[in-house]
Amino acid sequence: MLASSTPFKARDLSGPRVRFAPSPTGFLHVGSARTFIFNWLYARRNNGTMILRLDDTDVERNSDASVASIFDGLNWLDLGWDEEYKQSERLALHQKTAQTIFERGLAYRDFTPTHGPEAEKSGTQGTWLFNPGMRELSRSESDRRAAAGEPFALRFRVPRGTGEEVRFLDAVYGDQRKQADAVEDFALLRSDGMPTYHLASCADDADLSITHVIRGQDHLTNTFKHILIFQATGFTPPRFAHLPLLVAPDGTKLSKRRHGPVVSVTTYRDAGFLPEAFINFLCLLGWSPKDNRERMSREELIDAFSLEGINRANAVVNFTETTAALEAKATAGLEKTVYPEETFDPKAVWLNAEYIRALSIEDLSARLLSVVEGAGYRVDPARMLRITPLIRERIKFLCDVLTAADFFFVDQLPPYDPAELIPQKGDAAMAFKVLEKARAVLAATDFTHDALDHALRSAAQELGLKAGQMFQPIRVAVCGRKNAPPLFETLAVLGSDTTLARIDQAMKKLQ
């Protein structure tokens, strides 16, 4: 699945080395994306190396679909990375590390039969530290049973009764300490010989010369175990920086099961977010440049990023849960799911609109064109270039072009309520009079902004109507709805033929 299983560059040890290490057991969610981004920012800010490492030691739960989802999301972000590894190809290293720890007497074999996670209940049961009898097993007895083929897990022998304290300095959470007595004898190797996350992660971090581990706060307490592993192997632990978690509006950890597709990075992509806007949004969750800046370019983010700017409190991603119906549709994947704007965090939506408005007309036009073509319309690029400025301030997502500018793309307007044609403080007769007049005037007018402006305003005056009363029937006749881009520009792009034809149709509707 990986593009390559070997580093695509020679290892660069000159600067800090950071890694993003997702486990391919699910799709890439927004929290992971933020972790990736923060690592990337740190690397770029400090002329370091960004490493992608797939932590795929859980063979049972790994899936190719998940690997694909991770790459989909990461590629969309378009930030890139410098080296790439896959843990499952580094098993020898993990086993060797485990062996070293075992030989130093800092680990022991646990022959207790495995019991599933369901047996392990967090309820009223006391603190589990180790399986009685196993920690004290003599080496000869242990060797004998292992040689006899009895399966075992390898557990770290956490110091007990020594009053020893495990500590580290977290770049975000500060000085962290914990009694070793309170740390359980965690597993290093499973009974099938596969390394656990703790072992594999530390062995790889050491081997890959990782200097800074920047990861979710859910690993903060795990770090004590990791410190113990580093000490046991003789490696200097990297620096740690734990990130506050991204949580749902209900305060719980983001999960697809509970919160639906809104937690998946590809959902944002499919909804028409610009990756730059999405990245910007994520950066503002749990980190701040401290100078009130909100919209920041990639360069500004790199320049401003520092571990000191990271907060300690969890941040809410303020999305609205998608409806069951929508979710079913998304899961079925039969047709393209359109998420309503309210689905996403309003700030993310706002930022996206900001980014859209900041794009050049040419750039935006090209992006919109591909959306429009993707929807099955055929539009001339030159025409798209004229449409784009008319809707630029009116869309929040790229795909909004389909609803904001639909009337430019279709030959036949979808049906609308003729009552819409009736202007403020007017009636059907007035609407008809307006359209009649407009038709006559427009038939003899150049379809340029100024000429249209002049012609229609004079017409309104002749009819003794306000401009608004004059324009609304025409707008509805031509766009099929009341809310649309400015009239003259719209007519100019639409052209005389289409305009007159649609006015004729509107007059028919009124009869």
Active site residues: 256
Residue closer to RNA, measured from CB, 192 or 373: 192
DSSP string, 381-402: HHHHHHHHHHHGGG-SSGGGHH
Query: What minimum distance in Å lies between the beta carbon of 332 and RNA?
Result: 27
**Rounded to an integer, what distance in angstroms lies between the CA atom of residue 153 and that of residue 145?**
12
**Rounded to an integer, what distance in angstroms lies between the CA atom of residue 244 and that of residue 314?**
5
Span of 9-17, 65-73, 310-318, 360-368 interacting with RNA by CB under 7 A: 310-318
Residue 478 sits in the site that holds RNA (CB under 7 A)? no
Residue 488 sits in the site that holds RNA (CB under 7 A)? yes
Query: What minimum distance in Å lies between the beta carbon of 386 and RNA?
Result: 15
> What residues from 413 to 452 belong to the interface with RNA (CB under 7 A)?
none
**Rounded to an integer, what distance in angstroms lies between the CA atom of residue 310 and that of residue 505?**
60
CA–CA distances in Å: residue 130 to residues 56, 185, 190, 348: 26, 5, 15, 46
Residue closer to RNA, measured from CB, 81 or 287: 287
Smallest CA-to-CA distance from 28 within 224, 278, 208, 199 is with 278
Smallest CA-to-CA distance from 172 within 16, 308, 35, 313 is with 308
Instruction: Say if residues 384 and 363 touch (Cβ distance below 8 Å).
Output: no
Residue 97 sits in the site that holds RNA (CB under 7 A)? no
Would residue 174 be called left, alpha or beta, if left means φ above 0 and alpha means ψ between -120 and 50 degrees? left
Residue closer to RNA, measured from CB, 4 or 292: 292
Tell me which of 137, 379, 463, 467 binds RNA, using CB under 7 A.
467
> What residues from 346 to 405 belong to the interface with RNA (CB under 7 A)?
346-347, 349-350, 353-354, 357, 393-394
Phi then psi for residue 258, to 5 deg, are -80, -40
Residue closer to RNA, measured from CB, 4 or 483: 483
> What residues from 185 to 244 belong to the interface with RNA (CB under 7 A)?
186-187, 190-192, 194, 196-198, 201, 217-222, 244
> What residues from 262 to 281 belong to the interface with RNA (CB under 7 A)?
none
Helix (H), strand (E), coil (C) string for 225-278 = HHHHHHHHHCCCCCEEEEECCEECCCCCECCHHHHHHHHEHHHHHHCCCCHHHH
Tell me which of 21, 52, 106, 330 binds RNA, using CB under 7 A.
21
Tell me which of 33, 77, 206, 285 binds RNA, using CB under 7 A.
285
Amino acid at 212: H
Residue 112 sits in the site that holds RNA (CB under 7 A)? yes
Query: What minimum distance in Å lies between the beta carbon of 123 and RNA?
Result: 7
Query: What minimum distance in Å lies between the beta carbon of 14 and RNA?
Result: 28
Instruction: Say if residues 210 and 87 touch (Cβ distance below 8 Å).
Output: no
Span of 72-80, 228-236, 259-267, 339-347 interacting with RNA by CB under 7 A: 339-347
Residue closer to RNA, measured from CB, 244 or 260: 244
Residue 485 sits in the site that holds RNA (CB under 7 A)? yes
Residue closer to RNA, measured from CB, 337 or 472: 472
